[in-house]
Amino acid sequence: MKPIRWKNADNKLFPYQVGFTSPPHDFDGAPSDFLRMSPPSVGVHGRMLHVPGYEHELNQRTKNFDLLEEFVECMSNNGVDVCGQVGTNWVHAGGKTPTEIKAFCDRVSEKYETPFHMAGMSLVEGLRELNVEKIALNSVYYWPDWRDGTARFLRDAGFDVLYVGNFVDQGFYSTQEDVNQLTWIFPDDLAAKSMQYVAEQAPTADAIVVNGMCNFRNAQGIPERMVSREVELEKLVGKPIVSSDVALYWNIYRSLGTQPLGRHGQLLSSLEAKS
């Protein structure tokens, strides 16, 4: 059970407390992004998964899937109200289905009395919130097995996937090795170019899905994720863009019963209509 002291709001540092976990390698920007867009009543705590020798392989996610439950248990003990998991590929690694992932998240959430949201499953839930049926998948920097696994997971969830392609498929880089060397950070103009390309490949798609948490350097040279670009990019393509970071944040805010500050795209803006 969650420690009884956390039922007393006076014992908490913040009225709304969020815990994030990320893959074992690479500094993750999700806690920083989430805190910047949240009201002062929100606090964020992070915990990186520990997998010695981690190399971003899908089988390593499958073998260490139990670490996700360990993360939720630790965060629950620390008085966190909602837990969020960064790393879209964890939901499809090992052939897992949306039904299996939902059952896992529900079980863990109930056991530790703390809602738990996974980035990959949040894509599915966010698309359903917008009543989307037909999608185009922009797989950005994803390796081929990551790309194909995500597409399979979305099809298993019932979506009609009209297009699937990463930066190499789209012709912006010659090889996957060229993409990997950039460590998830790409030129400023690639965000618009890639999104426009995907929109042209699937003009009848209801929405564009962006897996992973890619970054694009802004005019000041600072990497920004899709949450910082969604308004301009949705205007460019004329339809919703549901990305892993935005969908995860939306799910967390939804569980907290609060909403972000500032102007956002269609999914996050849907929280305003329900407040």
Fold of 124-244: Rossmann fold (3.40.50)
Q: How many CB atoms lie under 10 A from the CB of residue 112? A: 21
Mean pLDDT for the chain overall: 96
- Same fold? 4-119+246-266, 124-244: yes
CATH of segment(s) 4-119+246-266? 3.40.50.12500
d(CA 118, CA 101): 9
d(CA 2, CA 234): 40
Task: Locate the domains of the chain by residue range.
Answer: 4-119+246-266, 124-244
Q: Residues 268, 246: contact at Cβ < 8 Å?
A: yes
For the chain, 275 residues long, give each residue's pLDDT as a single digit of tens.
Answer: 899 999 999 999 999 999 999 888 888 999 999 999 999 999 999 999 999 988 888 898 899 999 999 999 999 999 999 999 999 999 999 999 999 999 999 999 999 999 999 999 999 999 999 999 999 999 999 999 999 999 999 999 999 999 999 999 999 999 999 999 999 999 999 999 999 999 999 999 999 999 999 999 999 999 999 999 999 999 999 999 999 999 999 999 999 999 999 999 999 999 986 65
Q: 76: buried, middle or exposed (CB in 10 Å: 19+, 13-18, 0-12)?
A: buried
Region of 96 please: left (phi>0), alpha (psi -120 to 50) or beta. Answer: beta
Distances (CA, A) of 99 to 24, 121, 132, 184, 200: 26, 10, 18, 29, 32
